[in-house]
Amino acid sequence: MDFSYFFELLINGALTGLMYSLVALGIVLIYKSAGVPNLAQGAMVMISAYVIWMFTSMVGLPVYVSIAVAVVVMFLFGLLAERLLLRKMVGQPIIMIVMLTLGLEIFLRGLGPGFLGAAPKQISLGIDMMPIIVGDVFINREYLIGGAIAVTMIALSLLFFRTRLGTKLRAVSDDHVSSWSVGISVERAIGISWGIAGVSAVAAGALWGSVQGVDWTLSMLLFPAVAVVILGGLDSIYGVLVGGLIVGILGSVIPGYVDPLVGGGTRDVVTSLIILLTIIFRPHGMFGREDIERV
Amino acid sequence: MFYRQSGVHHTRYQTARRLWPLPTDQRIVWLLLALAVAAPFYMSDLYLTSYMLPWLIWSAAALSLTLLMGIAGQLHFGFAAVMAIGAYTSIHLTRAGVPFELALIGAGLMSAVIGCIFGAAALRVKGLYLVMATLAMQYLVDWTIINVPAISGGAQATLSTPSVSLLFVPLRGDTALYYGALLWAVIVTLLVLNIKRTSFGRALVAVRDKDFAAAVIGVNPFKYKLLAFFTSSFLGGVSGAVLAFCYYQAVTPEQFGFNVSIQLVAMVLVGGLGSVIGAFLGAGFVLLVPIILTNVVAYAAVAGWLTVSSNLLAHIPLMVYGGLIIGFILFEPLGLAKIYDNIRKYFLVWPFRHTQS
């Protein structure tokens, strides 16, 4: 067995997985505070990549300035989405909320490419395209930086949940009514969590946009992100890290050996199997909190 | 003379439990049926084959899904995969020389058996996790169909349907295809309408409302969840086969992708969960409104009222469709069926609004 091939798949898979966790982080942040599964996160990543592209090539700002602008835009977008859409859905059955976020996903998928052009676009973050060579192993430099940023973001969100605001959000995620009774504004907390999810979408959008170009396929990142979230547990930030690594590694190593045999496309199969097996054997994921249902 | 309920006094349970107890409703149903049967005589071929026919078949598919999602309460985001299984099974069976009627039943059974595997996830989880599990299975079924040449006939292949006859009438020509689709739509409609008033339907509703509570009163949730998946997948599989034979006349894996699953769920939700008339209205709405709106915008652009790039025009259906889902969920969660019901209730007692309806 060729070990350098294996290590290359392993390392690049792990780094891709960390970049998946960047997308997944937004889903967890919202689920943790609002209990809403945000299936529009893929489209939010796509929209933030479009916003960054718009400010770099149409307005002509430097790329890092436009990322900062995109952070503001997406934070406001998150606040708006909560205010206009999700606030009315309190107490509705889960199917309604799932379909609402899916409807938002479909809408944004038409909005971005419709107004800004469907042809793939480039975002250049100024990262050297040459791979780093360690021994016999080629490591993609963009993935390496992406992985580092993902770890930083996850660490930041862990720290964030220890601040005063983060404590409020944790209280809201535990129980809405009790949070109200101690004077926490639940609506504002949920709105802020949507805003932060928008900010994490900007990080994901910038990195994935520079890796694979900006077009509607960015919203397909939702599927691996959902696998990460299900595997790690819907309300666990550690789970995002570990789940991302596992989904990335399995989604790189298994196709690396199986694809030549069956003719491609195994990555989606691995992702689907991860979702399915997790749900059948441990529905709340590795680190998630188990729901106890009472009649 | 305007009061629709005048003279309707039920003295026996049989009359009170009829499908349409009011004479007005019965007349409307017969009128609609007559219009549908006579459609080939007053509609142009274009309208018949590109609007009426797909609408009827998609309504049948939406009805099968509403049985599962609305009546039994089991969320399913992989229904297009179930239809794909039915379509491919029926094609391979008829190619092997099996009569079309038997092939349809075979397609239904195949979908039902595989659909029960989807249902296995429902025995373990519900709600959001069930959505994710069925979504994953949609991808698995798609991948299997594309990558097993024995099923799809090779990558990127299109399997065209062989010529068949249904009940000794050859399925050739627009009229015959239309009547085939109409027959199936009527069968599914009557079936779902009747399921709602049998003990089976009431058991499903009990499981939907709370499965623990259903178990307490002696309804076995395990059995009824599986039965719901079985019945609904059977109907969905036959609908997929009818769709392949009567409308597409060929199958490719792309016809039954993940987007189609979402579209079916949208039909059910826009129509109203668990409502029979809602499935028809929802299917029509979801199929037609994006087309109509795109045509209106295209017309306005040609006439020079607004400037729209062709790129934007191509994405309008997607935006409208997403906006429709959002709008209905926000403003009318019970769907078009509720709007219809409000209108019907208003006219039921018109002009005597003070009477009990």
Residue B170's SS3 state is strand
Tokens at A131, concatenated: 């791979």
Q: How many domains does chain B have?
A: 1
**Distance from the first to the final alpha carbon of chain A:** 55
Residue A134's SS3 state is strand
Contact between chains at B139 and A94 (C-beta distance less than 8 A): no
Chain B residues in contact with A90 (beta carbon < 8 A) = none
Separation of alpha carbons B349 and B13, rounded Å: 23
Contact B118/B134 with Cβ under 8 angstroms? Answer: yes
In the DSSP assignment, the letter for residue A121 is B
Computed over every residue of chain A, the mean pLDDT equals 83
Q: Which residues contact A233 (CB under 8 A, 6 or more apart)?
A: A239, A243, A284, A285, A286, A287, A288, A289
Contact B91/B293 with Cβ under 8 angstroms? Answer: no
Distance from CA of B128 to the nearest CA of A (A): 7
- Which of A98, A108, A276 faces B128 most closely, judged by CB atoms? A98
- Which of A103, A110, A234 faces B329 most closely, judged by CB atoms? A103
Q: Which residues contact A144 (CB under 8 A, 6 or more apart)?
A: A15, A132
Contact between chains at B326 and A104 (C-beta distance less than 8 A): yes
In the DSSP assignment, the letter for residue A136 is T
Q: How many CB atoms lie within 10 A of CB B28?
A: 13
Kindly provide the residue ranges of all beta strands, DSSP E only, lying in B49-90, ordered along the sequence.
none
pLDDT on residue B3: 63
Residue listed under structure tokens 């987007």: B259
Q: Which amino acid is at A240?
A: V
Would you kindly state where each structural domain of chain A is located, as residue ranges?
A: 3-216
pLDDT tens digits for range A276-292: 888 888 888 888 777 66
Distance from CA of B45 to the nearest CA of A (A): 32
- At A129, the pLDDT band (50, 70, 90 cuts) reads low
Separation of alpha carbons B223 and A153, rounded Å: 46
Q: How far lies B342's CA from each of A73, A281, B329, in Å?
A: 41, 45, 17
Residue range A201-230: mean pLDDT, rounded: 85
Best CA proximity match to B221, nearest among B122, B134, B137: B122
In the DSSP assignment, the letter for residue A219 is G
ipTM above 0.90, yes or no: no
Tokens at B21, concatenated: 């107890």
Contact A143/A249 with Cβ under 8 angstroms? Answer: no
* Helix axis angle, A41-53 to A94-116, nearest 10°: 20
Residue A18's SS3 state is helix
Residue range A31-49: mean pLDDT, rounded: 86
Percentage of residues in chain A with pLDDT exceeding 90?
Answer: 1
Contact B322/A110 with Cβ under 8 angstroms? Answer: yes
- At A172, the pLDDT band (50, 70, 90 cuts) reads confident
pLDDT tens for each residue of chain B, 357 residues long: 456 777 778 888 888 778 887 777 888 889 888 888 888 888 787 888 888 888 999 999 999 999 988 888 888 888 899 999 998 888 888 888 888 888 889 999 999 998 888 788 777 777 788 888 888 888 888 888 887 777 777 666 777 777 777 777 777 777 888 888 888 999 999 999 898 888 898 898 888 888 888 888 888 888 888 889 999 999 999 999 888 888 887 788 788 888 888 888 888 888 888 888 889 999 988 888 878 887 887 787 777 676 667 777 778 888 888 888 888 888 888 888 888 888 888 877 777 777 654
* Residue A113 CB burial class (10 angstroms; 0-12, 13-18, ≥19): buried
Tokens at A285, concatenated: 């994921």
Domain span including residue B299: 40-349
For A64-99, b/e burial (b = at least 16 CB within 10 A) is eebbebbbebbbebbbebbeebbeebeeeebbbbbb
Distance from CA of A291 to the nearest CA of B (A): 11
Output the domain CATH number for residue B194.
1.10.3470
Per the domain annotation, does B9 fall within a domain? Answer: no
Q: Which residues contact A137 (CB under 8 A, 6 or more apart)?
A: A4, A7, A8, A11
* Ramachandran angles phi, psi of B263, nearest 5°: -60, -40
Best CA proximity match to A240, nearest among A9, A38, A12, A19: A19
Per the domain annotation, does B344 fall within a domain? Answer: yes
Per the domain annotation, does B213 fall within a domain? Answer: yes
Residue A254: is its pLDDT beyond 50?
A: yes
pLDDT on residue B256: 84
* Ramachandran angles phi, psi of B7, nearest 5°: 80, 5
pLDDT on residue B1: 44
In chain B, the residue whose alpha carbon lies closest to the alpha carbon of A81 is B326
In a 13 Å sphere around the CA of A240, the CA atoms on its Cβ side amount to 29
Contact between chains at B321 and A110 (C-beta distance less than 8 A): yes
Chain A residues in contact with B128 (beta carbon < 8 A) = 37, 94, 98, 234
pLDDT on residue B232: 92
Per the domain annotation, does B22 fall within a domain? Answer: no
Residue A257: is its pLDDT beyond 60?
A: yes
pLDDT on residue B238: 92
Distance from CA of A209 to the nearest CA of B (A): 21
Interface of A with B (CB under 8 A): 37, 85, 88-89, 92, 94-96, 98-100, 102-111, 113-115, 117-118, 223, 226, 230, 234, 262-263, 265, 268-269, 271-273, 275-276, 279-280, 283, 293, 295
Per the domain annotation, does B8 fall within a domain? Answer: no
Segment of A187-191, A266-270, B51-55, B56-60 carrying the highest mean pLDDT: B56-60
Q: How many CB atoms lie within 10 A of CB B162?
A: 13
pTM to 2 decimal places: 0.86
Residue range A215-244: mean pLDDT, rounded: 86
